Chains A and B, each alone.
Chain A
């Protein structure tokens, strides 16, 4: 990207975007002093392109589009080592989650994430039961289905209404439509 357009981006985006990230759970990101404790302790970054300090700087610089379309924000395993160690009480993990939330609203979340929402919508569980486990449960003297939504499906409509109420299922539908168009 040309330097000129980056400068424009900075002037327009800086304050709003950084505040949006802080409001989305990434509190204190504006006081990051780039010490690198986050990147230094990041176990995931040792094996791929995830650079936490770089992401914190990009947030402070207002580089919203670059961040939201980057693959790296989805590499974090959310171990919270950086958040635990940050001397400025920034919460880099939650900054990354706030960025993922924004990317989701722009229909840029990887498919497997939305798949979780569908499983929960249909069954209440992200990992629903299977036949082998049902058999083993009975053998162990447990109920064939656990006493969750699997045994009490009358709780499912409540879960579904919440998932619809926040607009998440609408996002899922839009992403599916986009997929079909492709």
Chain B
């Protein structure tokens, strides 16, 4: 199964490689096991953050995002991300520049300063949807060597992979914005159980620069999500975005300090959950970087 049928460049972004490198390791290894080779993308930078950065100047946001896309174009490969924020920047800008020649020309004027030119020759993908749409549930299920023993998972889709639906092109029932199911299905084929909870599609609170500007507002949203998950009883929350990941992981510590609510819900990126199911050790998927300890969860699996 190790022969790569699919290949794309791996855009890392900021928070994964610089805070939670276990997600990076797990994503590379698990994708390889499933026939998706993720190739090093040299010289990429911040996507840049759609809310925190795009809020200052859309054109600068577009040009820097296009620079990242160009690097992948130069390799002749589609570009894969594992962060919803990165997806918003790279996917949206790629689509906008392909559809709008005037915008493309404007961005290319800026890219010329970096000796680059955006062509519009590749697609931007999120690894989670690539695994679902290209590899398929059956192969994911077949790759499991350590079934997850029915652990109860609170799935957190995050925002920018799916919303706004009119600017996305999945065209599948499993990817609808109000009640998507693809990630729940991907969790369940690993032997875990996805548990419904109130306001499941709600934002983690961190985006749009709010975590940096008004942290209490961001944490209040995270608190509400954690409370809703705690009410139905989950063993962990599973995300597909390192920024949501950080907001749940670091955020729970901050919530405990500020307001005294202690949830202690372990936080895993889907790549890490898949890694555990494929037999990677907790150390190999980098769980030691997590603020919320995952021991109780691991006891249930192993």
Q: What number of A residues sit within 8 Å (CB to CB) of B? A: 69
Residues of B within 8 A of A114 (CB): 56
* Given A43-B221, A126-B52, A168-B57: A84 in contact with B17 (beta carbons within 8 A): no
CA A79 to CA B56, docked complex, whole Å: 17
Please report which residues of chain A, range 72-130, place their CB below 8 angstroms from some CB of chain B when the two chains form the complex. 74-81, 83-84, 89, 91, 93, 97-98, 100-101, 104, 109-110, 112-117, 119-120, 124-130
Partner of B177, one of A48, A84, A97, A146: A84
Check B64–A120 contact: CB distance below 8 A.
Answer: yes
Distance of B100 from chain A, by nearest CB (Å): 12
A158 contacts partner chain B, Cβ-Cβ < 8 Å: yes
Q: Which residue of A lies closest to B116 (CB)?
A: A158
Among B115, B163, B208, which residue has its beta carbon within 8 angstroms of that of A81? B163
| A126-B164 contact in complex given A147-B41, A148-B44, C-beta closer than 8 Å | no
Answer whether A128 and B21 are a contact pair too, CB < 8 Å, given A101-B56, A109-B55, A162-B63: no
Contacting A at CB under 8 A, from B14-56, are 14-15, 17-19, 21-22, 24-25, 40-46, 48-56
Contact A125 B46 (CB under 8 A): yes
Q: Is the CB of A44 within 8 A of B210?
A: yes
Q: Is B90's CB within 8 Å of the partner chain A?
A: no
- The interface residues of chain B lying within 8 Å CB-to-CB of A132 are 289
Is there a chain B Cβ closer than 8 Å to A155's Cβ? yes
A69 at the interface (CB under 8 A from B): no
Known: A75-B214, A113-B212. A161 touches B113 (CB 8 A): yes
B217 touches A140 (CB 8 A): no
Interface size on B, residues (CB 8 A): 69
For B40, list chain A residues within 8 Å (CB). 147
| B-chain residues with CB within 8 Å of residue A167 when the two chains form the complex | 57
Q: Is the CB of A124 within 8 A of B202?
A: no
Instruction: Give every chain B residue within 8 A of A77 (Cβ-Cβ).
Output: 51, 159, 203, 205-208, 210, 217-218, 221
Picked from B24, B55, B177, B203, the residue with its CB within 8 Å of the CB of A100 is B55
- Measured between beta carbons, the chain A residues less than 8 angstroms from B43 are 147-149, 152, 154-155
Interface string of B107-130 (1 = CB under 8 A from A): 000110111100000000000000
CA distance A158 to B45 in the complex (A): 11
Q: Is the CB of A127 within 8 A of B19?
A: yes
Q: Within 8 Å of chain A (Cβ to Cβ): is B99? A: no
Given contacts A126-B53, A162-B111, A165-B110, contact A113 B159 (CB under 8 A): no
Checking A89, A101, A149 against B58 with a beta-carbon cut-off of 8 angstroms, the contacting residue is A101
Contacts of A100 in B (CB 8 A): 55-56
Provide the bound-state CA to CA distance between A129 and B50, in Å. 20
- A158 CB contacts on chain B under 8 angstroms: 67, 113-116
Smallest Cβ distance from B63 to chain A, in angstroms?
Answer: 5
**B160 interface hit (Cβ, 8 Å):** yes
Question: Is the Cβ of A79 less than 8 Å from the Cβ of B45?
Answer: no
6 contacts between A and B (CB under 8 A): A24-B58, A77-B207, A78-B159, A79-B159, A109-B56, A146-B21
Where the two chains meet, the residues of B that have a C-beta atom closer than 8 Å to any C-beta of A are 12, 14-15, 17-19, 21-22, 24-25, 40-46, 48-60, 63-64, 67, 110-111, 113-116, 159-160, 163-166, 177, 199, 201-203, 205-210, 212-214, 217-218, 220-221, 224, 283-284, 286, 288-289
Besides A84-B164, A166-B60, 4 more A-B contacts (Cβ < 8 Å) are A77-B221, A81-B163, A136-B286, A140-B286
For the complex of A and B, 10 pairs with smallest distance between CB atoms: A158-B114, A124-B45, A146-B17, A79-B203, A78-B208, A112-B212, A155-B43, A161-B113, A80-B163, A127-B14
